């Protein structure tokens, strides 16, 4: 499964390989590595093989549906799949089998993609990763390290070459964190661009559903499938003349030197391809994380009010603690946070007057899993000092954000590093142009974890 979806699609269309062969290879890789990586909670082998045989017959008859036809994929187990267990990574919903299909899986399967299973996650997209339904997912680059969450299985399954495409969700960085930590590509689309029907809610106004893959081109094709739109090819446009904003200051605080060096080198690559660096400032960026915390907290407490009352004992203690604390936010707290959101949306409108995209950090390399769990479980009074979060502002304002690999640590262990790009609302095409140009000029996305052999 080393080939990307973009490499596999023309081979499928030309009948050089078959969907049946691909699904068998995917299931074999899952069987071989999942006991160590723990990326999958449910594997839908028989269903996937039946869908593969159907796809093979359709392609044989000339009924090729497009670049996703016959490609195996998997979804975060917070996305409803009709007739297939959807656990949310929680004992509270461990046996839930939806009677309906999410819009995103419905559209992907209409495009011909083949579901092979449901992926591990932090419980209800907010747990510690340690006390959920099963053991936490592990990072294929180093099993002692975290793949990051909450879409942990979505990132790990890609890095372990179990599937070429996955779906994640992002409320405060939960697609982009795993993309960075696992050395893959993840997109948080513009708010509302991808339907959230059938996706368990964490926060009504912050949740996003998005594609993950190993290349920007695959993410672009997947977004087209998830939205039901026709993919608009712009690979040849390059980045010449595009203005890329370069942010210094607050959003760079606590960035490790190796990560900073990798980001500066990435910017130089893009400049060498014709992009124009523009110095930008994002005023009040430090307000994004506390405002998002209030909105997410108040909305999640409302979402889970009945569950907290009736089945609190089945929840991860950390999830229960968070929900109980979140229920204490007042209407005044919530309204003040909404006002901050308005201020930051206006600030980003000002930023887009001077640039077409912004390049900024996506965080440091993956932490040790044990360290991450310990720090996550600390009560607020003794938790580590708050650090700048380069994900939250994009969720709060609804702008699209793309993360892709831009280097590796010296090791041991060798761990991926990632760059992040922000764009105008509905400006995903520009992010894809920049990301693809960078991937064509570098080979970071072609590196393989040692676990693959």
For the chain, percent helix, then strand, then coil, each to nearest 5?
45, 15, 40
Instruction: Characterize the bridge pairing of strands 72-76 and 416-423.
Output: unpaired
Q: Could you give the CA distance from residue 260 to residue 363 in angstroms, rounded to a whole number?
A: 10
* Phi-psi map region of 165: left, alpha, beta (phi>0 left; psi -120 to 50 alpha): beta
Which SS3 state, helix, strand or coil, does residue 241 take? Answer: coil
CB-CB contact of 228 with 213 (8 Å)? no
In a domain? residue 325: no
In a domain? residue 351: yes
Q: Could you give the CA distance from residue 211 to residue 176 in angstroms, rounded to a whole number?
A: 10
Q: Tens digits of per-residue pLDDT, 326-350?
A: 999 999 999 999 999 999 999 999 9
Residue indicated by tokens 């579901």: 115
Residue 19, beta-bridge partner list: none
In a domain? residue 312: no
Residue 237 is predicted with a pLDDT of: 78
Residue indicated by tokens 């690979």: 235
Residue 279, beta-bridge partner list: 246
In a domain? residue 83: yes
Residue 381 is predicted with a pLDDT of: 47
CB-CB contact of 37 with 27 (8 Å)? no
Residue indicated by tokens 């960026």: 285
In a domain? residue 294: no
Which of the following is catalytic: 26, 90, 146, 174? 174
In a domain? residue 295: no
Residue 229 is predicted with a pLDDT of: 81
Q: Could you give the CA distance from residue 104 to residue 80 in angstroms, rounded to a whole number?
A: 9
CATH for 350? 3.90.1300.10
Known catalytic membership, residue 150: yes
Residue 403, beta-bridge partner list: 186, 420
Residue 280, beta-bridge partner list: 247
Residue 43, beta-bridge partner list: 117
Residue 385 is predicted with a pLDDT of: 44
Residue indicated by tokens 């919903």: 93
Cα 289 vs. chain centroid, distance in angstroms?
Answer: 19
In a domain? residue 244: yes
Beta carbons within 10 angstroms of residue 329's beta carbon: 19
Which of the following is catalytic: 18, 26, 76, 146? 76
What's this model's pTM, rounded to 2 decimal places? 0.96
Q: Could you give the CA distance from residue 306 to residue 1 in angstroms, rounded to a whole number?
A: 43
Residue 358 is predicted with a pLDDT of: 98
Which of the following is catalytic: 90, 128, 146, 150? 150
Known catalytic membership, residue 174: yes
| Domain hosting residue 162, numbered range | 5-285+338-452
Q: Could you give the CA distance from residue 177 to residue 174 in angstroms, rounded to a whole number?
A: 6
Residues in the chain where the model's pLDDT stays below 70: 129-131, 230-236, 373-388
In a domain? residue 300: no
Which of 20, 68, 65 has the alpha carbon at shortest distance from 45? Answer: 20
Give the total number of structural domains in the chain. 1
């Amino acid at each position: 499964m080393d080939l990307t979806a973009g490499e596999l699609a023309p081979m499928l269309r030309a009948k050089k390989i078959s969907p049946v062969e691909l699904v068998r290879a995917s299931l074999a890789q899952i069987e071989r590595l999942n006991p160590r990586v723990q990326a999958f909670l449910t594997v839908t082998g028989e269903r996937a093989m039946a869908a593969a045989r159907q796809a093979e017959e359709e392609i044989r008859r000339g009924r090729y549906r497009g670049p996703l036809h016959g490609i195996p994929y998997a979804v975060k187990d917070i996305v409803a799949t009709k007739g297939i267990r959807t656990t949310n990574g929680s004992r509270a919903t461990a046996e839930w089998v939806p009677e309906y299909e999410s819009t995103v899986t419905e559209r992907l399967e209409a495009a011909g993609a083949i579901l092979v299973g449901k992926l591990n996650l932090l419980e209800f997209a907010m747990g510690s990763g340690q006390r959920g339904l099963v053991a936490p997912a592990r990072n294929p680059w180093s099993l002692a390290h975290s793949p990051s969450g909450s879409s942990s299985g979505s990132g790990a399954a890609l890095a372990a070459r179990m599937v070429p495409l996955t779906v994640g969700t992002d409320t405060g960085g939960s697609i982009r964190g795993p993309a960075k930590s696992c050395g893959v590509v993840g997109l948080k689309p513009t708010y509302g661009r991808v339907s959230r029907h059938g996706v368990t809610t964490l926060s009504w106004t912050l949740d996003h559903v998005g594609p993950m893959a190993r290349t920007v081109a695959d993410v672009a094709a997947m977004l087209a499938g998830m939205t039901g739109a026709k993919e608009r090819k712009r690979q040849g446009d390059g980045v010449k003349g595009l203005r890329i904003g370069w942010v210094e200051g607050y959003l760079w605080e606590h960035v490790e030197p190796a990560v900073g060096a990798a980001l500066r080198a990435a910017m130089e690559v893009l400049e060498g391809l014709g992009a124009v660096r523009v110095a930008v400032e994002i005023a009040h960026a430090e307000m994004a994380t506390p405002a998002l915390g209030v909105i997410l907290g108040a909305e999640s407490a409302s979402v889970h009010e009945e569950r907290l009352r009736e089945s609190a004992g089945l929840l991860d203690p950390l999830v229960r603690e968070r929900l109980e604390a979140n229920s204490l936010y007042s209407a005044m707290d919530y309204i003040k946070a909404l006002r901050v959101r308005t201020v930051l949306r206006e600030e980003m409108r000002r930023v887009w007057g001077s640039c077409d995209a912004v390049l900024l950090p996506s965080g440091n390399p993956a932490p040790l899993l044990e360290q991450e769990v310990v720090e996550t479980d600390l009560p607020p009074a003794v938790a580590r000092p708050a650090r700048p979060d380069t994900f939250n502002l994009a969720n709060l304002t609804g702008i699209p954000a793309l993360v892709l690999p831009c280097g590796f640590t010296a090791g041991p262990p060798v761990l991926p590093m990632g760059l992040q790009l922000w764009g105008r609302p509905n400006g995903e095409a520009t992010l894809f142009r920049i990301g693809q140009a960078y991937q064509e000029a570098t080979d970071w996305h072609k590196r393989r974890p040692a676990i693959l052999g």
